[in-house]
Amino acid sequence: MDLMERTVVRCAEGHVFSTASFPMQQLDAGRIGPGRLIRCPRCTRLRHAVPVESAELLELKRH
């Protein structure tokens, strides 16, 4: 059983996948933005990825 919350993200190449590790780091007083560098399982490269919006997730599930 996976007790970690998973985040659905889209990499810079457009691949959508879920990840258990999507750190929301802080830089001084301001956030550095929603994107993070993580390894995409489809293209196997370190890519910039952003969380997928809830409405977009529903649209993806319909297709």
pLDDT, residue 25, reads 52
CA-CA distance, 9 to 31, in Å (whole number)? 18
Query: Which residues 6+ apart lie within 8 Å of 2 measured at CB?
Result: 20
pLDDT, residue 1, reads 44
pLDDT, residue 24, reads 57
Q: Which token pair is 17? A: 């996948």
> pLDDT tens, position by position, for the chain (63 residues)?
455 678 889 999 999 998 886 665 544 455 556 778 889 999 999 998 888 887 777 776 776
pLDDT, residue 13, reads 94
